[in-house]
């Protein structure tokens, strides 16, 4: 059975990071660069700066900081002072930059945008993990991610202690309500999937009523996704399933109710809130010399 992924392939991640960082730098510098710094700071001026976090958080996005420095100025030095997944207090210095002052200031906003956003996801994920501690449920991210940012955001979830439901449409089978409607029934959809993939793929079926669950339990599904059910409805479904399939719940999950879902007995809780609702963390760059 496929396991829920905890980290994207490193080569795939690095390629995505290089591309995304390039786009972010291009939209900030355009074809003229930092015209303010060029006017104010002599080209030969060199110096250093530190990036400081203004609130407690879980760090993510350090590789993005390094990649931004590399693309803006290969001679600029990025010195990480913490690691991804590390919890840090307010006021902590997380990185030091050394090099041309123009380059440091050109990199400032793009680096902070990446680290603020990704650390926000990691920190928010850690809060979900803490909320279900001892309950036995795993917290997973869904495909609700910022366009083009999926691998980075999924890695941020992993940095916060979470997992991924699936990376995309290409790496896991999930038969949803529209698939069932198009196929005519759960049984017909499952038969088509088995015919296409044999036993090589774990098959998950989404249901939103206990009646649909009863139909799925009589099929060849490996996992069931309970969609937009209350914790009480989920508990009834878990009792009906009696361990015959892995139970995942999604839809309407938040920090206020995630513990209730965990205590209902599900193995996996997936939520788009990890990537779509996480507040950005507050970072700043300060010149030191």
- Known catalytic residues are 109, 144, 176, 206, 227
Q: Hey, is 45 helix, strand or coil?
A: coil
Angle, helix 101-131 to helix 10-29, in steps of 10 degrees:
130
Query: For residue 173, what are the contacts with CB-CB under 8 A and spacing of at least 6?
Result: 193, 197, 201, 202, 203, 204
> Rounded to whole angstroms, how far apart are CA atoms 204 and 40?
59
Q: How far, in Å, CA of 62 to CA of 278, rounded?
A: 18
Which letter does DSSP use for residue 91 in this model? T
Question: Closest Cα partner for 183 from 215, 137, 230?
Answer: 215
In sequence order, what are the beta bridge partners of 249?
A: 226, 269
Three-state secondary-structure class, residue 61: coil
Q: How far apart are CA 285 and CA 51, in angstroms?
A: 4
Query: Distance (Å, rounded) from C-alpha 2 to C-alpha 224?
Result: 14
Using alpha carbons only, how large is the chain's radius of gyration in Å?
23
Short-list 186, 182, 179, 55, CA closest to 115 = 55
């Amino acid at each position: 059975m496929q396991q829920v992924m905890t980290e994207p392939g490193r080569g795939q991640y690095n390629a995505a990071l290089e591309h995304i960082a390039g786009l972010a730098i291009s939209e900030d510098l355009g074809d003229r660069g930092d015209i303010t710094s060029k006017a104010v700071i002599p080209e030969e001026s060199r110096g250093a700066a530190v990036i400081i976090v203004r609130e407690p958080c879980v760090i993510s996005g350090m590789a993005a900081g390094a990649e931004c420095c590399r693309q803006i100025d290969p001679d600029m030095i990025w010195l990480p002072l913490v690691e991804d997944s590390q919890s840090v207090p307010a006021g902590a210095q997380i990185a030091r930059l050394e090099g041309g002052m123009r380059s440091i200031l050109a990199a400032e906003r793009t680096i902070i945008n990446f680290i603020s956003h990704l650390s926000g996801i990691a920190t928010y994920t850690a809060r979900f993990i803490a909320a279900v501690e001892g309950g036995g449920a795993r917290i997973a991210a869904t495909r609700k991610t910022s366009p083009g940012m999926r691998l980075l955001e999924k890695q941020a979830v992993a940095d916060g202690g979470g997992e991924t439901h699936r990376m995309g449409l290409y790496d896991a089978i999930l038969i949803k309500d529209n698939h069932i409607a198009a196929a005519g029934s759960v049984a017909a959809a499952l038969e088509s999937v088995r015919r296409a993939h044999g036993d090589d793929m774990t098959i998950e079926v989404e249901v939103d009523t206990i009646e649909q669950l009863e139909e799925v339990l009589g099929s060849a599904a490996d996992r069931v996704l309970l969609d937009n059910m209350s914790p009480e409805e989920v508990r009834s479904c878990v009792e009906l399933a009696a361990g015959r399939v892995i139970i995942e719940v999604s839809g309407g999950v938040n920090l206020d109710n995630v513990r209730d879902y965990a205590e209902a007995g599900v193995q996996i809780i997936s939520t788009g809130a990890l990537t779509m609702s996480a507040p950005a963390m507050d970072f700043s760059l300060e010149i030191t010399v």
